[in-house]
A and B are shown apart, each in its own frame.
Chain A
Amino acid sequence: MDYLNNIDLDSIKIIDKSEYPTKKAKEDKVTNDIDNLFKELNIHDGAVISFHHHLRNGDYVTNLIMKQVQKLGIKNVTLVASSLFPTNKELIPLLKDGTIKNIVTSYISGELGEAISHGELQGYIVMQSHGGRGRSILNGEIEIDVAFIASPSSDNKGNISGVNGTNSCGTLGYAIADSMMAKKVVAVTDSLVEYPNSPADITEDYVDHILVVDSIGLKSGIVSGTTMITKDPIGLKIAKDTLKVMAASGLLKDGFSFQSGAGGISLAATSFLRDYMIENNLKGSFASGGITGYLTDMLEEGLFDSLFDVQCFDLKAIESLKRNSNHLRMSASQYGNPEVSTVVDNLDIVILGATEIDTNFNVNVMTGSHGMLMGGSGGHQDTAAGSKLSIIVSKLFSSRIPLIKDKVDVITTPGSTVDVLVTERGICVNPLRQDLIELFKAAKLNVVDINELKDYSEKIMGVAKPIEKTDRVIGLSEYRDGRIIDYIYEVK
């Protein structure tokens, strides 16, 4: 628009009638020929290819596309998947033959994670948070060549909706940044619907191609992992004590905001919170994160004004998203990108889990007791940093494995952002939060020093044997702002 600063507009050339635009149909985006599509995409060695995980363990798209990449002999690909699940064990041969060289993800579980821990990835794995993933894609730190978006439904122009279609999976929050920034965007769908497909999570202006396949997966696979309230009496005690912690913090008042995970103890705490809110005539502002039916019930009961949903954890949440206008979609960036204004910064309370926690309150949710990759931050880092009160809930022992250690295997969430640990044998408060210590003691909660709790645990269970690892770094634990907070080593 050079003419805006051009004083002499008479010098600007006006086009001739012969150059006037003509109406012509845009190229058809729809194909069911994967071979032809790949020719057009021209994916090369070393390409960066992304996927989202909203179908969770029911996803077929990542395996389907990556096997096509393998078939074409493309090597050294960087796989940027928002999460990887046990179903992705089919990718293990692609590590061995060099199809996949590097992986960037926020969560990994199952045999693929174990293979990577045993050194089968030729490059590196970078573990990000959900907000960190959104940040790194939107600010150009990660440049995606092709984003393949598993689309529960799409029309022929590429309006993608997560709530319509055979395999509706709800909000598509983790794919938004990919659709905006990838050089090419392919909607992969098994439900081609009439134009316009509404409500669209990703609109046609961001979609280049539509690949129609027999099935993108199984919506029933969304409900993977724990999404039921625990019946374990120890878990229930922890959940009850968590409610006491929330109440004693002074944050449970009209307009408060809340997030909890989908683990059994977190869900029990949410259930107790619901009873507390009804009993005390409290109304919250919003609940956020991965959304479950427990939270959609609370929305419908009027206990929260709205839900911010980045990921549906069960089928009830999908139905709610479809019909309830106060059940709001959000992108991973809106959820937790540290470089912009985000929902997590408006959170009062978050309840999170931990595989391990150390005496400096650093949390590991990435590797298990054998040191192998079996999880990841997801929104852990983001919400811990953004909320006024971050609460870790966990049993002090899991079978014979102690929770509290001198140093966690891999730091996922820095202790500087973790406020409280609730176990069945006491509540530990980060010394950085003297204000909470005083409030909790005034409320006569069982506040104990985390070092004392560790000593008690070791007295009963003994000290855990160190995990046997090699000196080879296989990956990095990245903080949400892009800085590296820990190495991930190969397991012997």
Chain B
Amino acid sequence: MSYKTLLFMPGNNPGMLQSSDILGADGIIIDLEDAVAITEKDAARILVCEYLNTFDTTQSDIFVRVNPLDTPFFYDDLDAIKTLNITGVVLPKASVESMEALDKYLTENNLDFKVIGLVETALGLEMAMDILSRSKKVIGVLLGAEDLTLDLGAKRTKESEEIAYARSRIIAVSKALQIEAIDTPWTDTDDYEGLKIDTLNAKDLGMTGKALISPRHVDIVNSIFAPSEQEVNHALRVVEGVKAANEKGLGAFSLDGKMVDAPIIKRALNLLKMSGDYKEEYDGLLK
């Protein structure tokens, strides 16, 4: 699964939770951390459990953002969600220590949850490779630019030049580990043009998806990350070319006058996964 859109939903808002599965996001992140006041942590945990046990949420993958390890709520959150039918956990302020603690908990409880690490501190950014390597359950990294810029002492702007380095570093780490690179949310809920520019910038840098805080952003971001018909057609031609070359015993071939090598084949396969056009028969094509 490739998450073009991961939509945050407050864990203490029943009205929003009951609609979470119809908003078109590839995945939902139910938040027990920042969106929930300290006095409501217990109530939110109960509500989230009741919601996930009552509603059919199979339309979207569900992640839960737990509270950080350095709070009294980390293990309470994990205990509350361990029996739920969810896809995974988002780990805030990911550090070596918290990632190991989470991995240990999931392993000891025999939980097949996926993990998305939230990088939102300067230390976390610089140690991202190390942190995200600490658990085989990690499938993605999410850049949290609001907290990061606070930590860096930088001014958060719509142009996002202050997070250019962070974005590139996150993307490089994610590619190295072959996990998803999920961009920070666009926080102006009414500025759709700004959202489009920001998302396109992130995509062009190499992000594979974006986290969202507004349901109204889902369609725009989905459409930007969705491969175009032209891109899908080209990818299918690459794949067909590889199949034909393999049958003829050829190591390499050219398409439209350009040599098709491993990176191009890999890009085509990734694109087909994202567009939903990937078939099992493509599994062995990249040798």
Interface window among B16-24, B151-159, B244-252, B269-277: B16-24
Report how far A231 CA is from B190 CA in the complex, Å: 9
Cβ of B215 under 8 Å from chain A: yes
- Residues of A within 8 Å of B19, CB to CB, are 233-234, 424
Q: Which one, A233, A236, A460, contacts B18 given CB within 8 A? A: A460
B22 A237 Cβ-Cβ under 8 A: yes
A425 contacts B216, CB within 8 Å?
Answer: no
A233 to B21 CA separation, bound complex (whole angstroms):
12
B192 nearest CB across to chain A (Å)? 12
A237 to B18, CA, bound (A): 14
Residues of A202-252 whose CB lies within 8 A of B: 231, 233-234, 236-237, 240
Most buried by B among A233, A237, A240, A424: A233
Bound form: Cα–Cα A424–B21 in Å? 10
Interface magnitude class on chain A: under 10
A13 to chain B, nearest CB (A): 81
Closest to A236 in B: B216
Beta-carbon contact of A425 and B22 below 8 Å: yes
User: In the complex, how many angstroms separate the beta carbon of A148 from the nearest chain B beta carbon?
Assistant: 44
Q: Residue on A with the closest CB to B217? A: A233
Q: Tell me the nearest residue of chain A to B219, going by C-beta.
A: A240
- Are B18 and A231 in contact, with the CB atoms below 8 A? no
Residues of A within 8 A of B22 (CB): 234, 237, 424-425
Q: How far is the CA of A236 from the CA of B19 in the complex (A)?
A: 12
Residues in B with CB closer than 8 Å to A425 are: 22
Residue on B nearest A459 in the bound complex, by CB:
B54
A485 to B190 CA separation, bound complex (whole angstroms): 45
Residues 91-119 of A, flagged 1 when their CB comes within 8 A of B and 0 if not, give: 00000000000000000000000000000
Q: Find the B residue at minimum CB distance from A461.
A: B18
- The residues of A that contact B190 with a CB separation of less than 8 Å are 231
Q: State the Cβ distance, B222 to closest chain A Cβ, in Å.
A: 12
Query: Which residue of B has the minimal Cβ distance to A423?
Result: B22
Nearest residue, chain B, Cβ from A237: B22
For the complex, give the distance between the alpha carbons of A51 and B214 in Å: 46
Is chain A's interface secondary structure helix, strand, loop, or mixed overall?
Answer: helix
Task: Tell me which residues across on chain B come within 8 A of A233, comparing CB atoms.
Answer: 19, 23, 214-216
**Chain A nearest CB, measured from B149 CB (Å):** 27
- Residues of B with C-beta under 8 A to A460: 18, 54-55
**B218, closest chain A residue (CB):** A233
Query: A240 to B19, alpha carbons, bound, how many Å?
Result: 16
Q: Which residue of B lies closest to A460 (CB)?
A: B18
In whole angstroms, what is the CA distance A237 to B21 when docked?
Answer: 12
- The CA of A460 and the CA of B219, in the complex, are separated in Å by 27
Report the bound CA distance from A237 to B218 in whole Å: 11
Whole-angstrom distance between the Cβ of B219 and the nearest chain A Cβ: 8
CA distance A240 to B22 in the complex (A): 12
Q: Of A231, A236, A237, A460, which is in contact with the most chain B CB atoms at under 10 Å from its CB? A: A237
Among B167-226, those with CB < 8 Å from A are: 190, 214-216, 219
Complex contacts, A237 vs chain B, CB 8 Å:
22-24
Complex Cα distance, B54 from A347, in Å, reads 43
Q: How far is the CA of A233 from the CA of B17 in the complex (A)?
A: 12
Instruction: List the A side residues contacting B54 at CB < 8 Å.
Output: 460
Chain A neighbourhood of B24, CB < 8 A: 237
Chain A residues, Cβ within 8 Å of B18: 460
Chain B residues 47-101 with CB under 8 Å of chain A are 54-55
Rounded to whole Å, the gap between the CB of B171 and the closest CB of chain A is: 29
Nearest Cβ on chain B to A238's Cβ, whole angstroms? 10
Return chain A residues, CB-CB under 8 Å to B219: 240
Q: Tell me the residues in window 10-58 of chain B with beta carbons closer than 8 Å to chain A beta carbons.
A: 18-19, 22-24, 54-55
A-side contacts of B214, CB under 8 Å: 233
> A276: shortest Cβ distance to chain B, in Å?
14
Min Cβ gap B154→A in Å is: 30
B215 neighbours in A (Cβ, 8 Å): 233, 236
Residues in B neighbouring A234, C-beta threshold 8 A: 19, 22
Q: Which of B23, B55, B216 contacts A231 (CB 8 A)?
A: B216
- Chain A 459-492: CB-based contact to B (< 8 A → 1; otherwise 0): 0100000000000000000000000000000000
Interchain nearest-CB distance for A400 vs B (Å): 10
Please give, as numbers and ranges, the residues of chain A lying within 8 Å of B216 by CB-CB distance.
Answer: 231, 233, 236
Q: How far is the CB of B119 from chain A (nearest CB, A)?
A: 28
List B residues 117-175 near A (Cβ within 8 Å): none
**Most-contacted residue by chain A among B19, B214, B219 (CB, 10 A):** B19
Question: Residue of B at shortest CB range from A241?
Answer: B22
Name the residue on B nearest A424 (C-beta): B22
Residues of A within 8 A of B23 (CB): 233, 237
Query: C-beta contact mask, A409-426 vs B, less than 8 Å → 1, else 0?
Result: 000000000000000110
Least distance between B8 CB and chain A CB atoms (Å): 13
Measured CB to CB, the closest approach of chain A to B9, in angstroms, equals: 11
Shortest distance between the CB of A4 and any CB in chain B (Å): 72
Q: In this complex, what residue of B is CB-closest to A233? A: B215
| Set of chain B residues within 8 Å of A424, measured between Cβ atoms | 19, 22
Least CB distance from B7 to A in Å reads: 10
In the bound complex, residues from chain B placing their C-beta under 8 Å from that of A231 are 190, 216
* Residues of B bordering A, CB below 8 Å: 18-19, 22-24, 54-55, 190, 214-216, 219
The 8 closest A-B pairs by CB, nearest first: A233-B215, A234-B19, A424-B22, A233-B216, A233-B23, A237-B22, A236-B216, A425-B22
Chain A residues proximal to chain B, CB less than 8 Å: 231, 233-234, 236-237, 240, 424-425, 460
Q: List 10 A-B contacts (CB under 8 A).
A: A231-B216, A233-B215, A234-B22, A236-B215, A237-B23, A237-B24, A424-B22, A460-B18, A460-B54, A460-B55
- 6 more CB-based (< 8 A) A-B contacts, given A231-B216, A237-B22: A231-B190, A233-B19, A237-B23, A424-B19, A424-B22, A460-B18
